[in-house]
Amino acid sequence: MPLNILIIGDIIGKAGRRALRAGLPELIDRHMVDFVVANGENLAAGFGLTGKCANEIFNLGVDVLTNGNHCWDQKEFLKLIDQDARFVRPANFTSFAPGRGWTVRETAAGHRIAVINLIGQTFMGGWACPFLTADAVLAQIPDDVDVILVDIHAEASSEKMGLAWYLDGRVSCVYGTHTHVPTCDEAILPKGTARQSDVGMTGSYQSVIGMKVDIALKRMVQKLPQRFEPVERGGEIRATLLRVDAATGKAVAIERLMMSAEELEGRR
């Protein structure tokens, strides 16, 4: 039987955490999920993550937390990332960055899964090339790894698509995070790599990408400084279910999942 892997995009603050408390155990049970990976860079009030927030998510069944451009917004994470191999940050960050850009974890059944984290270049800053960094990381992945997942935290869909084609046949899945907007372009490429440009956020969709509407509009209209604040209630889950043949490491199915705020409210 294939391995069932649940991919969760950016978890936005309290609304996202509450949504996962209400719905993640059911998703894991319903889809017989073997492994869960999520992006945690927005866990703590929308900006970065803390040990307390991360432990809450790990206790729900998440196996690995990836990151992105908000990685260091909570200063405690600069030390925390070195203490737990379940945390990864973009591998193409500066060489001075603490932590690791990839990790290998084992499922209950003994299957070994590698998670690689990368950050894009387009509109994202002057990071090292994610394509060449992926090559360098793949050269270090142990031969006994069954599945390789790549979180590309990037703005441009074209860059995410390009990376998927670049890695087709060499990894199990390339999926995008960062934009907080789910895309409907999930597919399996010719050599067996699944791709989706963005998994979307788990948080409140009565918002502007998870943030309070009035504050976002003030920034857009008035062009004056306003600190974003995440919406704290009404969270929804957006995720992607990936099925991988553990014998070959190739994807056999990819499917978008959704749990609405109304559906989750009855479970809280």
Catalytic residue list? 70
Q: Where are the alpha helices (DSSP H) in the chain?
A: 13-30, 51-59, 77-80, 130-138, 157-167, 213-222, 261-265
SS3 (DSSP) at 147: strand
The pLDDT assigned to 268 comes to: 60
Determine how many CB atoms are found less than 10 A away from the CB of residue 230. Answer: 23
pLDDT at 137: 98
pTM for the full predicted model: 0.96
Q: How far apart are CA 33 and CA 129, in angstroms?
A: 33
The pLDDT tens digits of the residues spanning 41-95 come to 999 999 999 999 999 999 999 999 999 999 999 999 999 999 999 999 999 999 9
Judge: domain 3-265, CATH 3.60.21.10.
Answer: yes
Summary mean pLDDT of the chain: 96
Cβ neighbours, 10 Å, residue 73: 16
CA 121 – CA 130 distance, rounded (Å): 8
Cα 182–Cα 186–Cα 192 angle in degrees, nearest 5: 145
Percent of the chain at pLDDT > 90 equals 95
What local confidence, expressed as pLDDT, does residue 1 receive?
78
On the 0-12 / 13-18 / 19+ scale of CB atoms within 10 A, 197 is: buried
Q: Determine the pLDDT at residue 267.
A: 67
d(CA 15, CA 202): 8
Q: For strand 235-245 and strand 3-10, is the pairing parallel, antiparallel, or unpaired?
A: antiparallel
Average pLDDT value for residue range 138-142: 98
Q: What is the pLDDT of residue 106?
A: 97
203-238 tens-digit pLDDT = 999 999 999 999 999 999 999 888 999 999 999 999
Cβ atoms < 10 Å from Cβ of 144 = 8
